[in-house]
Structure 1
Amino acid sequence: MYRAFIVTALLAVAGPALADDRRVGNRVEVNGMTLYYEVSGEGDPLIVLHGAYMNIPSMGEIIPMLAETHRVYALEFQGHGRTTDLDRPITYPNLAGDVAAFMDAAGIEKADVFGYSMGAAAGLRLAIDYPEKVDQLVAASVAYDFEGWQPAFRDFVPQMNVEMFLKMPFAAEYRELAADPDGFPALVEKLIALEHEPMAWGEAVKALEIPVLIITGDADVATLEHTISMFRLLGGGVMGDMGQPLPESRLAVMPATSHTAVVNQPELLHAFIEPFLQGKTPKGFFE
């Protein structure tokens, strides 16, 4: 997704995921496609959703780190990695519906969700459309409205075309895992179309009743102002130390971090995510 073009830079430099012999790959029929997923770790269920043009390996070391304390289900979206494509557009409601259908197929009634970039927006849409399925949401590098993207990115969207992506190193790498090695151009067309999909979810975000951890880089694709606006919609941004409990939702800003650098800092990501999922809050002087 968003950040389609930018994410390709990440894929060109990201290192391999930590070796983890406990990961088990599997496939399941979901909404007319064969969806690939991997399961690792033990504990409460946690679903991990990657960004556009990515796959499970390109999410890097954060997956095995989270698997130390959670039963992690890492999914590969429509047309990505080893999951097949089908004659259907890639939209956020469709992606969210795929995750919901996967949960039904895998017997997961409710789970925490961690998504990055396109996966974060899909996770946000999952929480909006299927609130009964999401316990807590971690959304890294996300927006709830197209106007929340940086002006430079909004200006770039109309210039996107398939040819520029075919020249990326990722175009060749796609063939290594793809269910259809020749399916990359069709995937690019769908992901470019995704950038043009209407996106204005403010009222739906405000109505969410689950805890949400928003993670952003200070030089991310969404503006800091938009990210703070989202945090306020979720009840955040109030003053603590006034005798009232803090809001359940949280905001974390990663310093000196662009969009593609977010998942390249797994230790920092984990330091934000794990306390949130465990419900741990730093203690102040008055507690």
Structure 2
Amino acid sequence: MLRTFLLLSFLLLGRLVLGQQAVAYGSNPAAGKYATVRGMKLYYETYGTGAPLLLLHGNGGNSQDFTKTIPYFAKKYRVIALDSRAHGKSVDAGDSLSFELLADDCAALLTHLRLDSVYVLGWSDGGITALLLAQRHPGKVKRLAATGANLWPDSTALMPELWQQMRRGYQEGRRQAFTDPKRRNDWKVFLLDWRHPHIPLPTLAGIKAPAFIIAGDRDVIRPEHTVAIYQSLSRAWLWLVPNSGHATLHEHADEFNRKVDEFFRTKSIPAPAR
């Protein structure tokens, strides 16, 4: 959910794949566009054809984080990889962020693209946004997969080591006056995870779209929190990925892609086991 967990994926760019230069996901002029919605310009890239699939990255990241995801799904879906506001190429002049704001941005983008219902895959903060998109704009989400998501910001949802790290970061940052625009934006993005989200478990029952709830068995999200999210949904799958940290979609990319695709294509999704 934090930038430190996303930076590893940036190393994937610039490598040679099968003798050809890797696609510069997140900075690909051939696939990238801007949509002016809700008073700002959202950057997104589109790959492939088929049923639309919206990809939502984590805190401090951008669409580049889906380097191992896009090639698989672009063979079957119309993949839309979004840079959330204040991330990547989507500039935001506001002074604060919330996940409700990000979810409403997604709904506005889908309306701009004339898409009524899409599949959604969100990682970390993107998983939180996916849940709120399905909750606030139910007609926009056909099915969603969320990996490494949490519903509130404290040590009952996050592993204690991460929460203490965030606490130290907040104590250090709150004493500073950020004059540099980039550092000011980074602080705003950090505060998104420090202050948000606040999603009561019982409200998840109102999500009608089937959901696939995923986390690593060594994730920064407490496993019992992930299970509670799964059990609170009306129709859902659960996968606690063995031998995985927060970056499930990178650490187990092939299996991750296949399982998410299977979930999107399976006809019947049962109620969670409780």
**Farther-moved stretch of structure 1 (12-21 vs 97-106):** 12-21
Spell out, residue by residue over 1:5-49, the C-alpha distance to the aligned partner (whole angstroms, 9 max, x if none): 542553464455953899621111122211111111111111001
- For 1:249-283, what per-residue CA distance to the aligned partner results, in whole angstroms no more than 9, with x for missing partners? 1111221111135434321211210100011679x
Tell me the amino acid that sits aligned with residue 190 of structure 1. K
Q: Distance in 1 between matches of 2:52 and 2:242?
A: 29
Which residue is equivalent to 2:183? 185
Show CA shifts across 1:179-233 (max 9, x none): xxx6421222112221223523312112211100011111111111111111111
| 2:99 pairs with 1:92 | yes
Distance 2:171 2:71 in 1: 33
Matched, 1:270 2:269: no
Q: 2:165 aligns with which of 156, 165, 177?
A: 156
Change (3 A) 1:163 1:58: farther
Report the equivalent of 1:63: 70
Provide Cα deviations, 1:102-136, integer angstroms capped at 9, x if missing partner. Answer: 11111111111101011111111111111111110
Match runs of 1:126-165 below 5 Å:
126-146=133-153, 147-161=156-170
Match of 1:176 in 2: none
Determine helix, strand or coil for the equivalent of 2:242: strand
Alignment length, in residue pairs?
Answer: 251
Look up the SS of the partner of 1:77 in the other structure: coil
Other-structure match for 2:212: 213
Bigger Cα displacement from structure 2, 18-27 vs 221-230: 18-27
Q: Which amino acid aligns with 2:163?
A: R
- Partners of 2:187 and 2:171 in 1: how far apart? 6
* Structure-2 separation of matches of 1:280 and 1:38: 29
- Separation (CA, whole Å) in 2 of partners of 1:37 and 1:269: 23
- Alpha carbons of 1:27 and 1:105: their partners in 2 closer, same or farther (altered >3 Å)? same
Partners of 2:53 and 2:78 within 8 A in 1: yes
Q: Which residue of 2 aligns with 1:4?
A: 2
Q: Deviations over 1:152-199 (max 9, x none)?
A: 2222222115978xxxxxxxxxxxxxxxxx642122211222122352
Give the secondary-structure state (helix, strand or coil) at the position aligned to 1:263.
helix
Q: Taking structure 1 as reference, are residues 12 and 105 closer, same or farther at Cα in structure 2, changes over 3 Å only?
A: closer
The letter for the 2-side match of 1:187 is N
Name the SS for the 1:115 alignment partner.
strand
Which residue matches 1:41?
48
Matched residues in 2 for 1:134 and 1:75: separation?
15
Offset at residue 151 of structure 1 (A) = 2.0
**1:240 corresponds to which residue?**
none
Change over 3 Å in CA distance of 1:269–1:189 after alignment to 2:
same
Identity of aligned residues (%): 26
Question: Higher mean Cα deviation, 256-265 or 140-149?
Answer: 256-265
Q: Which amino acid aligns with 1:255?
A: P
> 2:237 is matched with which residue: 250, 259, 267?
250
Measured in 1, the distance between the counterparts of 2:107 and 2:10 equals 31
Amino acid paired to 2:76:
T
Kindly indicate whether the alpha-carbon contact (under 8 Å) linking 2:244 and 2:252 is maintained by their aligned counterparts in 1: no
Distance 1:23 1:223 in 2: 40
Q: Specify the alignment match of 1:73 in structure 2.
A: 80
Number of the residue aligned with 1:200: 199
Unaligned runs of 5+ in 2: 16-21, 174-179, 270-274
1:27/1:34 contact within 8 Å kept? yes
Match for 2:109: what amino acid?
A: F
- 1:102 paired residue number: 109
Most deviating of 222-231 and 199-208: 199-208
Q: In 1, distance between residues paired with 2:157 and 2:85?
A: 25
